[in-house]
């Protein structure tokens, strides 16, 4: 019999009340020194509509990050620079291959401090990009407000609010499932069973929130207006970035960088669901092809952990190394409650992924099969993906093949079910 793990969530920047969302609301403004960043992000939707964003961004001064002090200030700077970067890259008729140093230099510094890549991640778009009334229940979608969007549309705000609500809904289950891990170590099957049944309920409620995407986010608006700005610079050769983006640094030096864009695969909560149940994901077929040329073992979901805040990533890795709930449940017979509870949780997680697949089919696959009315929006992930008759080769904003990855993830979840 082993003692409890005693994982202190706050050491990883995680709250027992809000989970991976910040317990204290994201900061609403940096100090006056950073006014140029604040002002241009306030105008992002209008400047993008008028095709004048790059003109204004190229006149930004090179600001030092030395005046950022608290973590909330660093996080807000990351949000601002994420929106500036992706607006600059994707805000013209063709994507910009060179990021000016007034943007790239501070962005690289802020990203290094937070342990994140210099691109618009799930953290920038969701975790640190909301506000709400005090003591609001953020699992209710309507209770959050989004600070920034690229398009200024209610559709984009709703898209982010759904993710925030799922994060808030899942927050309470984190300490419960850590309790289950401890119960395994103490050989207490009753506690493990009750935690797993509660986990199943949480997953069902999360799926119900995800299904609300249809209420206020139009598939056409998402595909043509929102999604292009979420794309990264990795695997985007067909969209006009064969080498990624050149991040200028001091003395006119720099380097080409390729980053995935914002993706729900970067949600620490979703990956927590997997590791706590012992769901294992293999490289997709697309990734295996890449291995033959690169010699590496590319697992997309593990790659996405690099796009999580450093503390969240370390937490996921520790839980993955310590959790053995599935092995423990295997000791029991199929008639016992603990087996039922475990398989119910797995089934609910697979159902959650099914809902995600249905949304992708409606919001990405279906619009991609329709011919473009015009090329007025230029070259981006939407225009190069449109009029496809097949799902094969259709990439997500994270840079991986979309449907093969999602279906394989769902199938691997189902295969975790204990016989």
Binding site feature residues for heme b: 356
The pair of structure tokens assigned to 29 is 């403004």
Domain for residue 8, yes or no? no
Number of domains present in the structure of the chain:
1
Query: Mind listing the pLDDT tens digit for each residue in 224-276?
Result: 999 999 999 999 998 999 999 999 998 778 999 999 999 999 999 999 999 99
pLDDT of residue 326: 97
Domain of 228, CATH number, reads 1.20.58.480
Domain for residue 419, yes or no? no
pLDDT of residue 251: 75
Residue 175 domain boundaries: 13-414
Query: Mind listing the pLDDT tens digit for each residue in 117-150?
Result: 999 999 999 999 999 999 899 999 999 999 999 9
pTM for this entry: 0.92
Domain for residue 5, yes or no? no
Residue 372 binned pLDDT confidence (cut-offs 50, 70, 90): low
Tell me which of 188 and 372 has the higher pLDDT.
188
pLDDT of residue 291: 38
Domain for residue 4, yes or no? no
Domain for residue 37, yes or no? yes
Domain for residue 201, yes or no? yes
Tell me which of 395 and 403 has the higher pLDDT.
403
Q: What is the mean pLDDT of residues 267-293?
A: 77
Domain for residue 236, yes or no? yes
Domain for residue 3, yes or no? no
pLDDT of residue 310: 96
Query: Mind listing the pLDDT tens digit for each residue in 42-78?
Result: 999 999 999 999 999 999 999 999 999 999 999 999 9
Examine the pLDDT at 290 and tell me if it is beyond 70: no
Query: Mind listing the pLDDT tens digit for each residue in 314-361?
Result: 999 999 999 999 999 999 998 899 999 999 999 999 999 999 999 999
Residue 288 contacts by C-beta under 8 Å, 6 or more apart in sequence? none
What percent of the chain has pLDDT above 70? 89
Binding site feature residues: 356
What percent of the chain has pLDDT above 90? 81
């Amino acid at each position: 019999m082993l003692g409890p793990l005693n994982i202190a969530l706050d050491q990883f920047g995680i709250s027992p009340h809000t989970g991976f969302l910040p317990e204290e609301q994201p900061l609403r403004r940096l100090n006056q020194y950073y006014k140029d960043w604040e002002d241009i992000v306030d105008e992002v939707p209008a400047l993008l509509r008028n095709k004048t964003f790059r003109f204004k961004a190229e006149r930004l001064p090179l600001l030092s990050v030395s005046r950022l002090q608290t973590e909330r200030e660093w996080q807000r700077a990351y949000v601002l620079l994420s929106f500036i970067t992706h607006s600059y890259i994707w805000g013209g008729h063709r994507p910009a291959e060179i990021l000016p140093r007034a943007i790239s230099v501070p962005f690289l510094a802020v990203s290094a401090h937070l342990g994140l890549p210099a691109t618009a991640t799930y953290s920038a778009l969701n975790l640190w990009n909301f506000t709400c009334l005090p003591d609001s229940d953020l699992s209710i979608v309507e209770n959050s407000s989004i600070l920034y969007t690229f398009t200024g549309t209610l559709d984009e705000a709703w898209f982010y609010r759904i993710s925030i609500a799922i994060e808030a809904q899942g927050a309470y289950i984190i300490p419960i499932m850590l309790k289950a891990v401890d119960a395994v170590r103490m050989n207490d099957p009753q506690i493990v069973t009750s935690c797993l049944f509660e986990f199943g309920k949480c997953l069902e409620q999360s799926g119900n929130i995800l299904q609300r995407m249809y209420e206020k986010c139009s598939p056409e608006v998402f595909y043509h207006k929102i999604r292009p700005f979420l794309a990264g610079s990795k695997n985007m050769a067909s969209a006009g970035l064969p080498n990624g983006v050149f991040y200028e640094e001091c003395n006119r030096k720099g380097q080409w960088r390729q980053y995935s864009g914002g993706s729900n695969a970067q949600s620490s909560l979703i990956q927590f669901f997997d590791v706590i149940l012992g769901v294992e994901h293999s490289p997709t077929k697309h990734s295996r092809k890449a291995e033959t040329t690169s010699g590496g073992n590319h697992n997309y979901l593990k790659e996405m952990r690099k796009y999580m805040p450093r503390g969240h990533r370390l937490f996921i890795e520790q839980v993955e190394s310590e959790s053995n709930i599935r092995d423990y449940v295997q000791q029991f017979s199929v008639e016992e409650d603990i087996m039922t509870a475990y398989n119910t949780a797995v089934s609910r997680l697979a159902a959650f992924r099914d809902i995600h697949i249905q949304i992708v089919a409606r919001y990405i696959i279906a619009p991609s099969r329709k011919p473009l009315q015009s090329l007025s929006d230029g070259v981006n992930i939407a225009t190069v993906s449109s009029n496809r008759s097949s799902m094969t080769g259709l990439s997500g904003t994270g840079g991986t093949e979309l449907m093969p990855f999602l279906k394989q993830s769902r199938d691997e979840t189902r295969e975790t079910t204990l016989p």
